[in-house]
Structure 1
Amino acid sequence: MNIKRNALLLAASFLILAGFRSQAQSFPPRPRIDSITENDTHRTLVPFFTQATTAKKMPTSEGFIQRWSLLEPINKSIRSNLVFTNGYLKKEFETDYFPNQFTIIPKDGDKVKVGEQELLWHALESPTFNVKLFRFAYGLRKQTYAVLFWAVTVVNSPREIQNVRLAVGSNGGSTWWLNGKEAVTLDGDRRMVMDDCVSPRLTLNKGKNIIRGALINGPGLSDFCVRLLDENGEPIKDVTISLQ
Protein backbone atom coordinates (compact mmCIF):
# COMPACT_ATOMS: atom_id res chain seq x y z
CA MET A 1 0.00 0.00 0.00
CA ASN A 2 2.81 2.39 0.87
CA ILE A 3 4.48 1.75 -2.48
CA LYS A 4 1.21 2.41 -4.33
CA ARG A 5 0.54 5.58 -2.30
CA ASN A 6 4.05 6.88 -2.90
CA ALA A 7 3.68 6.24 -6.63
CA LEU A 8 0.41 8.19 -6.68
CA LEU A 9 1.99 11.09 -4.78
CA LEU A 10 4.93 11.13 -7.17
CA ALA A 11 2.61 11.17 -10.20
CA ALA A 12 0.57 14.01 -8.67
CA SER A 13 3.76 15.99 -8.06
CA PHE A 14 4.77 15.64 -11.71
CA LEU A 15 1.31 16.83 -12.83
CA ILE A 16 1.46 19.87 -10.53
CA LEU A 17 4.98 20.72 -11.70
CA ALA A 18 3.93 20.42 -15.32
CA GLY A 19 0.99 22.73 -14.64
CA PHE A 20 3.28 25.35 -13.09
CA ARG A 21 5.63 25.15 -16.07
CA SER A 22 2.73 25.51 -18.50
CA GLN A 23 1.37 28.49 -16.57
CA ALA A 24 4.78 30.13 -16.41
CA GLN A 25 5.21 29.74 -20.14
CA SER A 26 1.95 31.64 -20.73
CA PHE A 27 3.45 34.87 -19.36
CA PRO A 28 5.79 36.86 -21.65
CA PRO A 29 9.36 37.06 -20.35
CA ARG A 30 10.61 40.39 -19.04
CA PRO A 31 12.63 42.11 -21.80
CA ARG A 32 16.38 41.90 -21.52
CA ILE A 33 18.08 45.25 -21.13
CA ASP A 34 20.02 44.76 -24.36
CA SER A 35 16.86 43.83 -26.25
CA ILE A 36 15.09 47.16 -25.68
CA THR A 37 15.39 49.31 -28.78
CA GLU A 38 14.98 53.07 -29.09
CA ASN A 39 11.60 52.54 -30.80
CA ASP A 40 9.95 50.85 -27.82
CA THR A 41 11.55 52.65 -24.86
CA HIS A 42 8.53 54.87 -24.32
CA ARG A 43 6.23 51.83 -24.26
CA THR A 44 8.08 50.56 -21.18
CA LEU A 45 7.04 53.72 -19.29
CA VAL A 46 3.28 53.16 -19.58
CA PRO A 47 1.09 53.85 -17.56
CA PHE A 48 3.21 56.37 -15.67
CA PHE A 49 4.14 58.45 -18.73
CA THR A 50 3.01 59.14 -22.27
CA GLN A 51 5.00 60.52 -25.18
CA ALA A 52 4.87 64.33 -25.21
CA THR A 53 3.34 65.91 -28.30
CA THR A 54 3.34 69.37 -29.88
CA ALA A 55 -0.36 69.81 -29.11
CA LYS A 56 -1.37 72.72 -26.91
CA LYS A 57 -0.83 71.74 -23.28
CA MET A 58 -1.96 73.69 -20.26
CA PRO A 59 -1.34 73.03 -16.56
CA THR A 60 -3.84 70.94 -14.63
CA SER A 61 -6.85 72.55 -12.97
CA GLU A 62 -4.60 73.02 -9.92
CA GLY A 63 -1.77 74.49 -11.98
CA PHE A 64 0.63 71.53 -12.01
CA ILE A 65 3.02 71.10 -14.93
CA GLN A 66 2.91 67.64 -16.48
CA ARG A 67 5.04 68.02 -19.66
CA TRP A 68 8.81 67.65 -19.15
CA SER A 69 12.06 66.69 -20.84
CA LEU A 70 13.72 64.20 -18.51
CA LEU A 71 17.31 63.00 -18.69
CA GLU A 72 17.98 59.37 -17.87
CA PRO A 73 19.42 59.10 -14.34
CA ILE A 74 23.04 59.85 -13.60
CA ASN A 75 24.44 57.17 -11.31
CA LYS A 76 25.81 58.40 -8.00
CA SER A 77 27.25 56.87 -4.83
CA ILE A 78 24.81 57.68 -2.02
CA ARG A 79 24.20 55.54 1.05
CA SER A 80 21.84 57.83 2.93
CA ASN A 81 19.57 60.76 2.16
CA LEU A 82 20.70 62.45 5.37
CA VAL A 83 23.67 63.91 3.47
CA PHE A 84 21.40 66.25 1.46
CA THR A 85 22.39 69.48 3.18
CA ASN A 86 22.19 72.76 1.30
CA GLY A 87 25.96 72.77 0.87
CA TYR A 88 26.01 69.19 -0.42
CA LEU A 89 23.27 69.92 -2.96
CA LYS A 90 24.99 73.10 -4.12
CA LYS A 91 28.20 71.18 -4.79
CA GLU A 92 26.42 68.33 -6.58
CA PHE A 93 24.24 70.55 -8.75
CA GLU A 94 27.06 72.91 -9.70
CA THR A 95 29.18 70.01 -10.96
CA ASP A 96 29.54 70.00 -14.75
CA TYR A 97 27.94 66.71 -15.80
CA PHE A 98 27.39 67.52 -19.47
CA PRO A 99 27.89 70.53 -21.79
CA ASN A 100 25.46 73.47 -21.45
CA GLN A 101 23.54 71.80 -18.65
CA PHE A 102 22.19 75.14 -17.42
CA THR A 103 21.21 76.47 -20.86
CA ILE A 104 20.25 73.45 -22.97
CA ILE A 105 16.66 73.03 -24.12
CA PRO A 106 16.88 69.37 -25.14
CA LYS A 107 14.93 67.57 -27.83
CA ASP A 108 13.51 64.09 -27.46
CA GLY A 109 16.25 61.56 -28.15
CA ASP A 110 19.18 63.96 -27.66
CA LYS A 111 22.18 62.21 -26.12
CA VAL A 112 24.72 63.40 -23.57
CA LYS A 113 27.81 61.71 -22.17
CA VAL A 114 28.28 61.76 -18.40
CA GLY A 115 31.46 59.92 -17.49
CA GLU A 116 31.03 56.41 -18.87
CA GLN A 117 27.25 56.80 -19.20
CA GLU A 118 25.55 57.73 -22.46
CA LEU A 119 22.16 59.14 -21.51
CA LEU A 120 19.08 60.14 -23.50
CA TRP A 121 16.58 62.93 -23.02
CA HIS A 122 12.92 61.84 -23.12
CA ALA A 123 10.00 64.19 -23.89
CA LEU A 124 7.21 62.90 -21.66
CA GLU A 125 3.93 63.79 -20.01
CA SER A 126 2.75 62.57 -16.63
CA PRO A 127 -0.95 61.64 -16.32
CA THR A 128 -0.82 62.67 -12.66
CA PHE A 129 0.12 65.94 -10.95
CA ASN A 130 3.48 64.49 -9.88
CA VAL A 131 6.30 63.19 -12.07
CA LYS A 132 7.36 59.71 -10.94
CA LEU A 133 11.11 59.61 -11.53
CA PHE A 134 11.53 56.21 -9.90
CA ARG A 135 9.09 54.78 -12.47
CA PHE A 136 10.89 56.67 -15.22
CA ALA A 137 14.20 55.02 -14.29
CA TYR A 138 12.64 51.61 -13.63
CA GLY A 139 10.74 51.63 -16.91
CA LEU A 140 13.95 52.25 -18.84
CA ARG A 141 15.82 49.56 -16.86
CA LYS A 142 18.14 52.16 -15.34
CA GLN A 143 19.51 52.47 -11.84
CA THR A 144 16.65 53.56 -9.56
CA TYR A 145 18.48 54.36 -6.31
CA ALA A 146 21.46 56.68 -5.75
CA VAL A 147 20.74 58.74 -8.85
CA LEU A 148 20.56 62.33 -10.06
CA PHE A 149 17.88 63.52 -12.50
CA TRP A 150 17.61 66.63 -14.69
CA ALA A 151 14.26 68.03 -15.86
CA VAL A 152 13.46 70.91 -18.24
CA THR A 153 10.23 72.48 -19.42
CA VAL A 154 9.10 75.71 -21.11
CA VAL A 155 6.24 77.86 -19.81
CA ASN A 156 4.71 80.20 -22.39
CA SER A 157 2.98 83.17 -20.80
CA PRO A 158 0.65 85.55 -22.70
CA ARG A 159 1.78 88.45 -20.52
CA GLU A 160 4.33 89.46 -17.92
CA ILE A 161 3.28 88.31 -14.46
CA GLN A 162 5.01 89.75 -11.41
CA ASN A 163 5.18 88.40 -7.84
CA VAL A 164 5.04 84.79 -9.04
CA ARG A 165 6.18 81.97 -6.78
CA LEU A 166 7.57 78.64 -7.96
CA ALA A 167 6.05 75.98 -5.70
CA VAL A 168 7.80 72.60 -5.59
CA GLY A 169 7.59 69.28 -3.81
CA SER A 170 10.23 66.57 -4.28
CA ASN A 171 11.16 63.19 -2.90
CA GLY A 172 14.88 63.70 -2.50
CA GLY A 173 16.88 66.91 -2.51
CA SER A 174 16.34 69.25 -5.43
CA THR A 175 17.08 72.71 -6.81
CA TRP A 176 14.98 74.59 -9.37
CA TRP A 177 15.82 77.50 -11.65
CA LEU A 178 13.57 79.93 -13.51
CA ASN A 179 15.11 81.57 -16.58
CA GLY A 180 18.62 80.69 -15.41
CA LYS A 181 18.26 82.04 -11.87
CA GLU A 182 18.09 79.77 -8.84
CA ALA A 183 14.58 79.95 -7.43
CA VAL A 184 14.19 77.33 -4.70
CA THR A 185 16.10 74.47 -3.05
CA LEU A 186 14.61 71.56 -1.13
CA ASP A 187 17.25 70.01 1.12
CA GLY A 188 17.25 67.15 3.60
CA ASP A 189 15.61 63.73 3.51
CA ARG A 190 12.01 64.48 2.59
CA ARG A 191 8.94 63.00 0.99
CA MET A 192 7.15 64.76 -1.82
CA VAL A 193 4.45 67.15 -0.62
CA MET A 194 2.80 69.65 -2.92
CA ASP A 195 4.03 73.21 -2.38
CA ASP A 196 6.56 71.91 0.15
CA CYS A 197 8.83 74.87 -0.64
CA VAL A 198 8.04 78.06 -2.51
CA SER A 199 10.44 80.54 -4.06
CA PRO A 200 10.76 84.25 -3.31
CA ARG A 201 8.67 86.50 -5.56
CA LEU A 202 9.70 86.21 -9.20
CA THR A 203 8.68 87.63 -12.57
CA LEU A 204 7.27 85.42 -15.30
CA ASN A 205 8.24 86.97 -18.62
CA LYS A 206 5.86 87.42 -21.51
CA GLY A 207 6.66 84.61 -23.93
CA LYS A 208 8.99 81.74 -23.08
CA ASN A 209 10.16 80.94 -19.56
CA ILE A 210 12.44 78.00 -18.83
CA ILE A 211 12.08 75.95 -15.66
CA ARG A 212 15.02 73.66 -14.95
CA GLY A 213 15.35 71.23 -12.08
CA ALA A 214 17.90 68.83 -10.63
CA LEU A 215 16.85 66.15 -8.17
CA ILE A 216 19.06 63.71 -6.30
CA ASN A 217 18.04 60.71 -4.20
CA GLY A 218 19.57 57.71 -2.48
CA PRO A 219 17.37 54.91 -1.13
CA GLY A 220 13.64 55.19 -1.77
CA LEU A 221 11.29 56.54 -4.38
CA SER A 222 11.91 59.69 -6.43
CA ASP A 223 9.29 62.11 -7.74
CA PHE A 224 8.43 65.80 -7.91
CA CYS A 225 5.60 68.24 -8.56
CA VAL A 226 5.88 71.84 -9.76
CA ARG A 227 3.40 74.67 -10.24
CA LEU A 228 3.38 78.46 -10.42
CA LEU A 229 1.38 80.55 -7.94
CA ASP A 230 0.31 84.16 -8.37
CA GLU A 231 0.67 86.89 -5.75
CA ASN A 232 -2.51 85.70 -4.05
CA GLY A 233 -1.29 82.11 -3.82
CA GLU A 234 -3.64 80.94 -6.58
CA PRO A 235 -2.35 78.56 -9.30
CA ILE A 236 -1.46 80.16 -12.63
CA LYS A 237 -3.36 78.28 -15.34
CA ASP A 238 -3.55 80.64 -18.34
CA VAL A 239 -0.12 79.56 -19.67
CA THR A 240 0.87 76.78 -22.05
CA ILE A 241 3.61 74.20 -21.61
CA SER A 242 6.00 73.20 -24.38
CA LEU A 243 9.44 71.63 -24.69
CA GLN A 244 11.02 74.11 -27.09
Structure 2
Amino acid sequence: MVSRQRESFRFPLLAAIAAAALCGGGAAMAQTTTPDRLVPYFQPVTAGAKTPDADGFLQRWLLLEPIVKPNRSNSGFTGSYVRTALTTRYFPGQMTAVPRDGDTVTVATPLRWHALDAVPFDVKLFNFAQALSKPTYGVIFQAVTVITSPRERRNVRLAVGSNAASMWWLNGKEAVTLSGDRRMVMDDVLSPRITLNKGRNVLRGAVINGPGLSDFCVRFVDEDGKPIRDITVDVK
Protein backbone atom coordinates (compact mmCIF):
# COMPACT_ATOMS: atom_id res chain seq x y z
CA MET A 1 0.00 0.00 0.00
CA VAL A 2 2.79 2.42 0.85
CA SER A 3 4.44 1.87 -2.54
CA ARG A 4 1.22 2.92 -4.28
CA GLN A 5 1.05 6.14 -2.29
CA ARG A 6 4.64 7.01 -3.13
CA GLU A 7 4.10 6.21 -6.79
CA SER A 8 1.73 9.15 -7.16
CA PHE A 9 4.39 11.78 -6.49
CA ARG A 10 7.80 10.30 -7.23
CA PHE A 11 9.78 12.30 -9.74
CA PRO A 12 6.85 14.27 -11.20
CA LEU A 13 9.05 16.37 -13.51
CA LEU A 14 10.75 13.30 -14.93
CA ALA A 15 7.35 11.69 -15.47
CA ALA A 16 6.14 14.73 -17.38
CA ILE A 17 9.31 14.84 -19.49
CA ALA A 18 9.00 11.12 -20.22
CA ALA A 19 5.39 11.56 -21.27
CA ALA A 20 6.35 14.36 -23.65
CA ALA A 21 9.16 12.27 -25.08
CA LEU A 22 6.86 9.33 -25.66
CA CYS A 23 4.48 11.64 -27.47
CA GLY A 24 7.27 12.81 -29.74
CA GLY A 25 6.80 16.54 -29.02
CA GLY A 26 3.96 18.94 -29.75
CA ALA A 27 4.01 18.62 -33.55
CA ALA A 28 3.92 14.83 -33.41
CA MET A 29 1.14 14.88 -30.80
CA ALA A 30 -1.16 16.73 -33.16
CA GLN A 31 -0.80 13.97 -35.75
CA THR A 32 -1.24 10.88 -33.59
CA THR A 33 -4.43 9.22 -32.43
CA THR A 34 -5.81 9.89 -28.99
CA PRO A 35 -4.80 6.50 -27.48
CA ASP A 36 -1.19 6.95 -28.67
CA ARG A 37 -1.00 10.41 -27.18
CA LEU A 38 -2.22 9.17 -23.81
CA VAL A 39 0.26 6.31 -23.46
CA PRO A 40 1.59 5.27 -20.93
CA TYR A 41 -1.05 6.52 -18.50
CA PHE A 42 -4.25 5.46 -20.30
CA GLN A 43 -5.58 2.80 -22.65
CA PRO A 44 -8.71 2.74 -24.82
CA VAL A 45 -11.72 1.17 -23.12
CA THR A 46 -12.06 -2.51 -23.97
CA ALA A 47 -15.27 -4.44 -24.60
CA GLY A 48 -17.20 -5.53 -21.53
CA ALA A 49 -17.25 -4.17 -18.02
CA LYS A 50 -14.06 -3.83 -15.98
CA THR A 51 -13.45 -4.98 -12.42
CA PRO A 52 -11.56 -2.80 -9.93
CA ASP A 53 -7.85 -3.48 -9.58
CA ALA A 54 -6.45 -5.75 -6.86
CA ASP A 55 -6.81 -2.99 -4.26
CA GLY A 56 -10.29 -1.96 -5.35
CA PHE A 57 -9.39 1.21 -7.28
CA LEU A 58 -11.70 2.24 -10.12
CA GLN A 59 -9.77 2.67 -13.37
CA ARG A 60 -12.46 3.08 -16.06
CA TRP A 61 -13.70 6.64 -16.54
CA LEU A 62 -15.27 9.14 -18.87
CA LEU A 63 -13.08 12.24 -18.64
CA LEU A 64 -13.99 15.64 -20.04
CA GLU A 65 -11.30 17.84 -21.51
CA PRO A 66 -10.50 20.49 -18.88
CA ILE A 67 -12.73 23.50 -18.28
CA VAL A 68 -10.70 26.69 -17.91
CA LYS A 69 -11.90 28.61 -14.87
CA PRO A 70 -12.94 32.23 -15.52
CA ASN A 71 -10.77 33.26 -12.55
CA ARG A 72 -7.63 31.13 -12.62
CA SER A 73 -6.46 32.15 -9.14
CA ASN A 74 -6.84 29.27 -6.69
CA SER A 75 -7.81 31.63 -3.82
CA GLY A 76 -6.41 29.09 -1.37
CA PHE A 77 -8.95 26.43 -2.42
CA THR A 78 -11.04 27.13 0.66
CA GLY A 79 -14.18 25.08 1.21
CA SER A 80 -16.48 27.82 -0.06
CA TYR A 81 -14.30 28.53 -3.10
CA VAL A 82 -14.12 24.84 -4.04
CA ARG A 83 -17.87 24.35 -3.59
CA THR A 84 -18.71 27.36 -5.75
CA ALA A 85 -16.23 26.41 -8.48
CA LEU A 86 -17.26 22.75 -8.64
CA THR A 87 -21.03 23.18 -8.38
CA THR A 88 -21.28 25.97 -10.96
CA ARG A 89 -23.28 24.82 -13.99
CA TYR A 90 -20.89 24.92 -16.93
CA PHE A 91 -22.95 22.91 -19.44
CA PRO A 92 -26.38 21.24 -19.70
CA GLY A 93 -26.70 17.82 -18.04
CA GLN A 94 -23.53 18.37 -16.01
CA MET A 95 -24.97 16.66 -12.93
CA THR A 96 -27.43 14.28 -14.57
CA ALA A 97 -26.24 12.95 -17.92
CA VAL A 98 -23.97 9.97 -18.50
CA PRO A 99 -22.11 10.98 -21.66
CA ARG A 100 -20.81 8.71 -24.37
CA ASP A 101 -17.25 8.53 -25.64
CA GLY A 102 -16.78 11.33 -28.16
CA ASP A 103 -19.73 13.45 -26.98
CA THR A 104 -18.97 17.16 -26.81
CA VAL A 105 -20.19 20.02 -24.65
CA THR A 106 -19.48 23.71 -25.07
CA VAL A 107 -17.91 25.75 -22.28
CA ALA A 108 -16.55 28.78 -24.12
CA THR A 109 -15.12 26.25 -26.60
CA PRO A 110 -16.19 22.66 -27.48
CA LEU A 111 -14.85 20.04 -25.06
CA ARG A 112 -14.88 16.30 -25.72
CA TRP A 113 -15.55 13.36 -23.43
CA HIS A 114 -13.00 10.51 -23.56
CA ALA A 115 -13.69 6.96 -22.35
CA LEU A 116 -10.42 5.63 -20.96
CA ASP A 117 -8.93 2.97 -18.73
CA ALA A 118 -6.26 4.32 -16.39
CA VAL A 119 -3.12 2.17 -16.39
CA PRO A 120 -1.95 2.99 -12.83
CA PHE A 121 -4.29 2.99 -9.85
CA ASP A 122 -4.59 6.78 -9.98
CA VAL A 123 -6.12 8.74 -12.87
CA LYS A 124 -3.45 11.18 -14.05
CA LEU A 125 -5.43 14.25 -15.09
CA PHE A 126 -2.41 16.46 -15.73
CA ASN A 127 -1.06 13.95 -18.23
CA PHE A 128 -4.52 13.54 -19.79
CA ALA A 129 -4.71 17.28 -20.46
CA GLN A 130 -1.08 17.61 -21.48
CA ALA A 131 -1.31 14.76 -24.00
CA LEU A 132 -4.31 16.41 -25.65
CA SER A 133 -2.55 19.80 -25.75
CA LYS A 134 -5.15 21.24 -23.35
CA PRO A 135 -4.59 23.67 -20.44
CA THR A 136 -3.26 22.03 -17.30
CA TYR A 137 -3.34 24.97 -14.86
CA GLY A 138 -6.38 26.77 -13.46
CA VAL A 139 -8.79 24.14 -14.77
CA ILE A 140 -11.64 21.88 -13.68
CA PHE A 141 -11.81 18.22 -14.70
CA GLN A 142 -15.08 16.29 -14.85
CA ALA A 143 -15.17 12.49 -14.41
CA VAL A 144 -18.05 10.02 -14.65
CA THR A 145 -18.27 6.26 -14.32
CA VAL A 146 -21.00 3.66 -13.86
CA ILE A 147 -20.71 0.99 -11.17
CA THR A 148 -22.79 -2.17 -11.18
CA SER A 149 -23.19 -3.99 -7.88
CA PRO A 150 -24.63 -7.54 -7.72
CA ARG A 151 -26.43 -6.65 -4.49
CA GLU A 152 -27.28 -3.70 -2.29
CA ARG A 153 -24.37 -2.75 -0.07
CA ARG A 154 -25.12 -0.49 2.88
CA ASN A 155 -22.67 1.37 5.10
CA VAL A 156 -19.89 1.47 2.55
CA ARG A 157 -17.59 4.47 2.19
CA LEU A 158 -16.13 6.22 -0.81
CA ALA A 159 -12.39 6.64 -0.27
CA VAL A 160 -10.85 9.44 -2.33
CA GLY A 161 -7.48 11.07 -2.84
CA SER A 162 -7.07 14.00 -5.21
CA ASN A 163 -4.67 16.67 -6.35
CA ALA A 164 -5.94 19.28 -5.83
CA ALA A 165 -9.45 19.77 -4.36
CA SER A 166 -12.43 17.72 -5.52
CA MET A 167 -16.11 16.88 -4.99
CA TRP A 168 -17.82 13.53 -5.58
CA TRP A 169 -21.47 12.52 -6.02
CA LEU A 170 -23.00 9.04 -5.96
CA ASN A 171 -26.38 8.67 -7.66
CA GLY A 172 -26.86 12.43 -7.65
CA LYS A 173 -26.11 12.91 -3.93
CA GLU A 174 -22.97 14.57 -2.63
CA ALA A 175 -20.74 11.92 -1.06
CA VAL A 176 -17.46 13.62 -0.17
CA THR A 177 -15.53 16.87 -0.62
CA LEU A 178 -11.78 17.41 -0.44
CA SER A 179 -10.80 21.06 0.03
CA GLY A 180 -7.43 22.78 0.00
CA ASP A 181 -4.52 22.74 -2.43
CA ARG A 182 -3.62 19.19 -1.50
CA ARG A 183 -1.43 16.43 -2.84
CA MET A 184 -2.98 13.13 -3.76
CA VAL A 185 -2.84 10.51 -1.03
CA MET A 186 -4.93 7.39 -1.41
CA ASP A 187 -7.88 7.15 0.99
CA ASP A 188 -7.15 10.73 2.02
CA VAL A 189 -10.82 11.39 2.83
CA LEU A 190 -13.61 8.90 3.51
CA SER A 191 -17.25 9.69 2.90
CA PRO A 192 -19.93 9.15 5.52
CA ARG A 193 -21.61 5.75 5.27
CA ILE A 194 -23.46 5.47 1.97
CA THR A 195 -25.32 2.79 0.01
CA LEU A 196 -24.39 1.14 -3.26
CA ASN A 197 -27.64 0.15 -4.92
CA LYS A 198 -28.12 -3.26 -6.44
CA GLY A 199 -27.52 -2.79 -10.16
CA ARG A 200 -26.48 0.53 -11.67
CA ASN A 201 -24.87 3.39 -9.73
CA VAL A 202 -23.47 6.59 -11.25
CA LEU A 203 -20.36 8.10 -9.67
CA ARG A 204 -19.49 11.64 -10.69
CA GLY A 205 -16.48 13.74 -9.70
CA ALA A 206 -15.01 17.17 -10.31
CA VAL A 207 -11.38 18.03 -9.62
CA ILE A 208 -9.93 21.55 -9.59
CA ASN A 209 -6.25 22.12 -10.29
CA GLY A 210 -3.93 25.03 -9.63
CA PRO A 211 -0.25 24.95 -10.60
CA GLY A 212 1.43 21.54 -10.78
CA LEU A 213 0.28 17.99 -11.32
CA SER A 214 -3.27 16.72 -10.90
CA ASP A 215 -4.68 13.24 -10.38
CA PHE A 216 -7.17 11.27 -8.29
CA CYS A 217 -7.81 7.78 -6.98
CA VAL A 218 -11.16 6.37 -5.90
CA ARG A 219 -12.37 3.14 -4.37
CA PHE A 220 -15.19 1.85 -2.17
CA VAL A 221 -14.39 0.24 1.18
CA ASP A 222 -16.61 -1.79 3.49
CA GLU A 223 -17.28 -1.26 7.20
CA ASP A 224 -13.96 -2.91 8.05
CA GLY A 225 -12.06 -0.65 5.65
CA LYS A 226 -11.46 -3.46 3.17
CA PRO A 227 -11.68 -2.65 -0.57
CA ILE A 228 -14.85 -3.70 -2.38
CA ARG A 229 -13.99 -5.66 -5.52
CA ASP A 230 -17.16 -7.62 -6.35
CA ILE A 231 -18.47 -4.79 -8.53
CA THR A 232 -17.92 -3.88 -12.16
CA VAL A 233 -17.18 -0.53 -13.75
CA ASP A 234 -18.18 0.71 -17.18
CA VAL A 235 -18.96 3.92 -19.04
CA LYS A 236 -22.42 3.07 -20.37
Which range, TM-score by smaller chain?
0.7 to 0.9
In 1, the alpha carbon distance for the partners of 2:160 and 2:25 equals 39
**2:27 partner letter:** P
The alpha-carbon deviation at position 36 of structure 1 amounts to: 4.1
Deviations 1:101-126 (A, max 9, x none): 001111110000002x1100000011
**Residues 231 and 114 (structure 1 numbering): CA distance in 2 closer, same or farther, change over 3 Å?**
same
Q: 1:29 Cα shift?
A: 6.0
Tell me, yes or no, if the aligned pair for 1:178 and 1:210 is still in contact at 8 Å.
yes
Q: Distance in 2 between matches of 1:120 and 1:193?
A: 28
Moved over 3 A (4+): none
Q: Which residue is 2:134 aligned to?
A: 142
1:171-221 deviation digits (Å, cap 9, x = unpaired): 011000000000000000110000000100001000001110000011010
1:79 counterpart = 2:67: no
Alignment of 1:178-217 (within 5 A): 178-217=170-209
* C-alpha distance in 2 between matches for 1:192 and 1:243: 24
TM-score of the two chains, using structure 1 as the length reference: 0.83
Could you report, residue by residue, the CA deviation over 1:122-172 in whole angstroms, capped at 9, with x for unpaired residues?
000111110000000000000111110000001100000000100000001
Between the aligned residues of both structures, percent identity stands at: 58
Aligned length: 212
TM value normalised by structure 2: 0.86
Q: Aligned partner of 2:196: which letter?
A: L
CA RMSD in angstroms comes to: 1.4
Q: Which sections of structure 2, spanning at least 5 residues, go unmatched?
A: 1-23
1:88-167 alignment, distance < 5 Å: 88-115=81-108, 117-167=109-159
- The C-alpha deviation readout for 1:77-112, integer Å capped at 9, x for no partner, is 3234x5211111111122110101001111110000
Measure, in 2, the Cα distance between the counterparts of 1:213 and 1:79.
21
Measured in 2, the distance between the counterparts of 1:31 and 1:214 equals 30
The amino acid across from 1:229 in the alignment is V
**Paired residue for 2:3?**
none
Who wins on radius of gyration, i.e. which is larger?
1
Say whether the 8 Å CA contact 2:100–2:235 is kept in structure 1: yes
Instruction: Tell me if structure 2 keeps the 8 A contact 1:79–1:219.
Output: no
Match of 1:63 among 56, 76, 88: 56
In structure 1, stretches of 5+ residues that fail to align are 1-27
SS at match of 1:57: coil
Distance across 2 between alignment mates of 1:170 and 1:86 = 15
Following the alignment from structure 2 to structure 1, what is the Cα–Cα distance between the partners of residues 82 and 61?
A: 22
Code of the residue aligned with 2:185 in structure 1: it is V
Q: Structure 1 residues 139, 87: CA separation in 2 closer, same or farther (over 3 Å shift)?
A: same
Where 2:55 maps in the other structure, the secondary structure is: coil
Q: In structure 1, the residue corresponding to 2:200 is in which secondary structure?
A: strand
Judged with a 3 Å threshold, the aligned counterparts in structure 2 of structure 1 residues 29 and 85 are, in CA distance, closer, same or farther, namely closer
Q: Which residue pairs with 1:11 in the alignment?
A: none
